[in-house]
Structure 1
């Protein structure tokens, strides 16, 4: 595995790969790697000849600057994990390398970024689109891999790729969970022992709610999830929406869509955790 800090060096290596006819996979991350990230790297390694992994904590997608400061950074451990993976190149740039000039682009995603994360984190997805498009321009991958835990982000990136006419296949990886069901996240390392233990209630409640589909309507299921999690003194639901998996717009009835997803954000003290559950996927969307 090579470690590259400058975009010009990265592009030079990738040009060599292209001359050799190699396919390129790309996994963008913000570091603090866990098994979820590594599963995407392995998926990329199975699908492509070479794999580029980026580690970059992107400042333009943080609407809360304190959250940016506190975001976990574990580069030495990240390097060790990637050495043992299918990663060919780790791109570990500075802010100046990614943004040699201020990125003033503003993306219009219609209603995709007006709900859920977009509602509670204004500007977040514009920053995501800025950095991912910048990386796409640098790496020019054949395939790019993103985790399904960030369900809305995946929809935004697919929309951005279409908007900017990227000839890149956007592929997703399943949510990887801890043994107690908590979705793996870099933010989990910031949880106290008590909050970490209690956070398993999030996935437990989501899984339980799926069993209620035949007996309860969407509003009742939403109320069940929110009330059960909020019964915990250590957790507070910011939002729980049940939406169409393509448009991300809220639904009122289970019959309104063949692709239905529940998306949730929960505060465990000051740590914000997200998760989702697919209730119905007759379209077999991935």
Structure 2
């Protein structure tokens, strides 16, 4: 091994890029640059708060890395929230929106710079994000999906330039893209999950009951299942059309007797059948 061998490490890479930057510059160069500087300052402050570091800034892009995957995702959500809040306080004709991609991967280290697929994938993921949104790789999702109070929409495997397709996820919050609502704490998330649980169970219960009945009928011989179905239908008709006068027992008895007789005759001992022949 030589001293100049390129070092590698596993890290979380966040890539942020301004959506429609060329269009914004064409409309107002001075105003766009002032807004970009202000947002970069805010991004740098949030990255530092979450124990990350800015790796590089070129053009309208920002590359940051984090030792913690959870901190990286929290930082991304807070970035989108702060930018959205700033736009609300001072409405603009063409507000500036960032798209953010986050990837957990192996990178090559050269001084303070990082290179490799780990960085390239983060850059491609931000291209899949909506303006003001965040898209993460499956490696990030595996680490944070049960640790954060945000939702995730699977985007499947999307084609990306010069990168093999990989599964990605879009962050959501309250049914909207991350960044459009406040970032709740763990207590809020727990209460929300508890509130949703009964409604989900209520929606599943009728389906589960019907599946149990269908599975049970499916295990019976076809004539028996048909007879029971017709009998139940006749009973319901009797109950809903005139419960004061019971008549269903006669047709039901006849149906069940016929099925029982057919079943008995259809299962005569093999020796009897041979004797008849």
TM-score normalised over the length of structure 1? 0.25
Q: Which has the higher contact order (CA 8 A, sep 6+)?
A: 1
- Structure number with the higher helix fraction is 2
TM-score normalised over the length of structure 2? 0.26
